[in-house]
Amino acid sequence: MMKDLSHQTRPVNLILLGPPGAGKGTQAKILQDRFGLVQLSTGDMLRGAVAAGTAAGKAAKDVMDSGGLVSDDIVLAILRDRMAEPDCAAGVIFDGFPRTIAQAEALDALLADTDAQLDAVIELEVDDSALVQRILNRAEQARAAGQPVRADDNAETLGQRLAAYHAQTAPLIDYYAARGTLTKIPGMGDMDEIADALATIVKPLTTA
């Protein structure tokens, strides 16, 4: 996909919201390539911390394997460190963050500290019934490519992850809708069509 940086004049910060398996990671990578924004996946950061055996990783591992949410303190510490790196000044896509109202409030404060703004929150709408198959496909593709399969990418743990999403993360939909920053797009269709729908929202923001 071609980069589309020709008219970019300002950094854009956006949140991709949606349940596990909605395609947030896939679409964040496409947006990263297309608009030069930085994908910030707290799931990737936490898996990195687990693999590196850091104190945060050790504290997070069992919670992640069981499909629950890692504590706000751990997630926010990891995210704060990452956001302090200079590449984030180009604009970021939050993927899998925030997942609680407390995280959303902390993000508000973090952005205010650096005079940055949140430009959009985009919810990828996907039926729960489609998610199990997507997660199982993702595990199968990783296996076939000889890559490690995520410990939480199985039908049993997905049930817990979905329960956590509905109980703790879905309230963010109303939180951002009340501020007028939320846009919903269907996340069920073809990957390229979804990417184009996202680009239609993001492009005007980069040139505003």
**Residues taking part in catalysis:** 24, 99, 138, 150, 161
Walk across the sheet containing 38-41 and list its strands.
38-41, 92-95, 14-17, 120-125, 182-186
How many residues of this chain bind ligand AMP (CB under 6 A)?
Answer: 17
Site for ligand AMP in 114-173 (CB under 6 A): 152, 161
Answer yes or no whether residue 40 interacts with ligand AMP by CB under 6 A: no
Q: Which amino acid is at 28?
A: A
Site for ligand AMP in 64-103 (CB under 6 A): 64, 67-70, 75, 96-97, 99, 103
> Residue 14 or residue 206: which is nearer to ligand AMP going by CB?
14
> Residue 32 or residue 206: which is nearer to ligand AMP going by CB?
32
Number of Cβ within a 10 Å radius of residue 33: 15
Number of Cβ within a 10 Å radius of residue 31: 26
152 exposed, middle or buried (CB, 10 Å; 0-12, 13-18, 19+)?
buried
Supply the minimum distance, in Å, between the C-beta of residue 10 and ligand AMP. 26
Supply the minimum distance, in Å, between the C-beta of residue 206 and ligand AMP. 25
Supply the minimum distance, in Å, between the C-beta of residue 142 and ligand AMP. 13
Residues 6 or more apart whose CB falls under 8 angstroms from that of 29 comprise: 39
> Residue 75 or residue 194: which is nearer to ligand AMP going by CB?
75
Task: Please select the residue that binds ligand AMP; options are 11, 18, 20, 23, rule is CB under 6 A.
Answer: 20
> Which residue in the shown chain puts its C-beta closest to ligand AMP?
43
Q: Which amino acid is at 8?
A: Q
Contact between 201 and 140 under an 8 Å Cβ cutoff? The reply is no
Quick one: which of 116, 110, 125 has its CA closest to 16? 125
Residues that bind ligand AMP (CB under 6 A): 20, 42-43, 46, 63-64, 67-70, 75, 96-97, 99, 103, 152, 161
